[in-house]
Amino acid sequence: MSDFILNAEVRETTGKAHARRMRRAGKIPGIIYGGDKQDLPISVEFYEVSKLLSDEAFYTSMLEVKVKGSRGKNTVLLKDTQWDPLKETITHLDFFRVSASDVVDVEVPVEAINDAKCPGVVAGGMIDVIRRHLAVQCRADSIPEHIEVDCSKLQIGDSIHIKDMVAPKGITFPDQHADAEADEEFVNYTVITCVPPTVEKAATETEADSE
């Protein structure tokens, strides 16, 4: 069963000019592709999809796209969202067909936990999330909303690298299995680090001590 349902219509005409007209009419062009079926150009209502895009889980969940005028069920993942860099509006959506048992590669947000009580933060440092998203491999029906990274033991200057992490059950971090002959610093990248207090903060504390 899909977590989200999106209504759509078949898009009979393609091309940049037609896409611009659609967007002016409050619709967003998109496409459904993959599997053993032909590509299916679609359009969705801007108002409906913008509400769904505001939910972080929408990006990592199986979706059901109900296409008016098309037979069959479209169970998909959102693979790409294109934006206008100046207007900051959606210009195109790409959906990839999947089934629940398919193993997929997706990007999942990183969430630092237990950061407020870690020794480094207690000593005045700050947690810096270097990698906001991690590449994961798992079943399409088991994509996590986020990957939790425990920061409870971090001292100032400590870091958590991709090869330090333990993947949740049923999930693989493909980057942990990168080519061992590649540059180690590049392969074993930093996910989270505990940095010293900022210069501004240190200066403020010095002024307060002087007073």
State the CATH number of the domain containing residue 83: 2.40.240.10
Instruction: Say whether both 15 and 56 belong to one domain.
Output: yes
Most distant CA pair in the chain, distance: 75
**173: domain CATH number?**
2.170.120.20
Asked if the structure places residue 64 within a domain, the reply is yes
What are 70-76's contacts with CB under 8 Å, separation 24+? 70/10, 70/40, 72/37, 74/32, 74/40, 75/2, 75/99, 75/100, 76/32, 76/34
Kindly report whether the global pTM for this prediction surpasses the value 0.85: no
pLDDT digits (tens, 9 = 90+) for 23-81: 888 899 999 999 888 999 999 999 999 889 889 889 999 999 999 877 777 999 999 99
Single residue among 42, 73, 97 that ends a domain in this structure: 97
pLDDT digits (tens, 9 = 90+) for 120-161: 999 999 999 999 999 999 999 999 999 999 999 999 999 999
Instruction: Say whether both 68 and 157 belong to one domain.
Output: no
Single residue among 97, 132, 167 that ends a domain in this structure: 97
pLDDT digits (tens, 9 = 90+) for 169-209: 999 999 887 765 655 556 789 999 999 987 554 445 555 55
Instruction: Say whether both 114 and 73 belong to one domain.
Output: no
Instruction: Output b/e per residue, 45-60; b: 16+ Cβ within 10 A.
Output: bbeebeebeeeeebbb
Instruction: Say whether both 140 and 123 belong to one domain.
Output: yes
55, two tokens: 């939910």
Task: Tell me which amino acid residue 190 is.
Answer: T
In total, how many domains does the chain have?
A: 2
Range of the domain at 162: 103-206
94, two tokens: 């790409």
Instruction: Say whether both 176 and 130 belong to one domain.
Output: yes
Instruction: Say whether both 26 and 115 belong to one domain.
Output: no
Single residue among 97, 126, 155 that ends a domain in this structure: 97
Instruction: Say whether both 146 and 123 belong to one domain.
Output: yes
Instruction: Say whether both 54 and 83 belong to one domain.
Output: yes
Sign of CA dihedral 109, 150, 127, 180: negative
Q: Decide: 160 and 151 in contact? Cβ < 8 Å.
A: yes
Instruction: Say whether both 107 and 188 belong to one domain.
Output: yes
Instruction: Say whether both 17 and 79 belong to one domain.
Output: yes
Instruction: Say whether both 79 and 137 belong to one domain.
Output: no
Instruction: Say whether both 35 and 126 belong to one domain.
Output: no
Asked if the structure places residue 67 within a domain, the reply is yes
